[in-house]
Amino acid sequence: MTSPAEYVLTLSCPDRPGVVAAVSGLLAARGCNIIESQQFGDRVERRFFMRVQFAGALGEDELNSAFATLAPDFAMEFRLRDMAGKPRVLIMVSRFDHCLNDLLYRVRSGALDIEIAAVASNHPDLRPLTQSYGIDYHHLPITPETRARQEAEVLALVEHYQVDLVVLARYMQVLSEGLCEKLTGRAINIHHSFLPSFKGAKPYHQAHDRGVKLIGATAHYVTSDLDEGPIIEQEVARVDHTHSPEDLAAIGRDVECLALARAVKWHAEQRVLLDGHKTVVFPR
């Protein structure tokens, strides 16, 4: 006997009575079984968000048609994804290897249900690591004069590999406004974040000089406003005066890996919905 297909539905619409009943009623009428359901009403923006994971015998086209019929009644924006297909990911990296290595291992161990289609870098250094996992590596050097051509090559890779998500795993280049717009909602970046914030060279040394007590990392969607995109996940670690700059950097690498891995996992599982400049996250 064939197992029923499993889907994830995510939606947002103006907050009003009857949305949950309408969605669950539509699924029940078509013999679908709800496995997990989460919802949130933003009282400030008066907008409603919902994620429903369900199983059923109907095909994706038939379900999309059914929800497309329902959507106008609630001014609803929705997305339906078949859980059988893994999101295809392009990882971009420079010379720091900790986030790339962490993602590669999580995928191989089954902790992260994505397919890493390829890795691209402005340096050749991480080719051996990437290819040890049997994954294509593309060296795309960049200078101020070649930035436009290099970014066109990035977009060509996205199209060639049919990429669903681009992950900047410590990619130390600023994306142009045009590339950010083309990747809206499907590119995630990781960066160090401190209280107070330290920018520029050697941020962990700056943090050490100021005697910080808390360091952290932020995973967010990429926008043309540098490091200002909607935040998906943050991770922190407490430190003290006994930690050297090198200790802080090591701890920082760990929290960067954790925050990025969670953000990628939640995005891949359709657990992140954009709410203006914020996100609504439905973690398991």
* Residues annotated as part of the active site: 227
Please report, as a single letter, which amino acid is at residue 237. Answer: A
Burial classification of residue 112, based on how many CB atoms lie within 10 Å of its CB (0-12 exposed, 13-18 middle, 19 or more buried): buried
Q: Are 242 and 213 in contact (CB under 8 A)?
A: no
Q: Which residues, 6+ apart, have CB-to-CB distance to 62 below 8 Å? A: none
* Cα gap 101→105, rounded to integer Å: 6
* Cα gap 148→217, rounded to integer Å: 29
Considering only CA atoms, which of 70, 90, 95 is closest in space to residue 80? 70
* Cα gap 135→146, rounded to integer Å: 26
**How many of the other CB atoms lie within 10 Å of CB of 256?**
25
Which segments of the chain are extended strands (E)? 5-14, 33-42, 47-56, 77-82, 88-93, 115-121, 136-139, 165-168, 187-194, 214-221, 231-238, 272-275, 278-281
Give φ, ψ of 101 to 5 degrees.
-60, -40
Q: Which residues, 6+ apart, have CB-to-CB distance to 250 below 8 Å? A: none
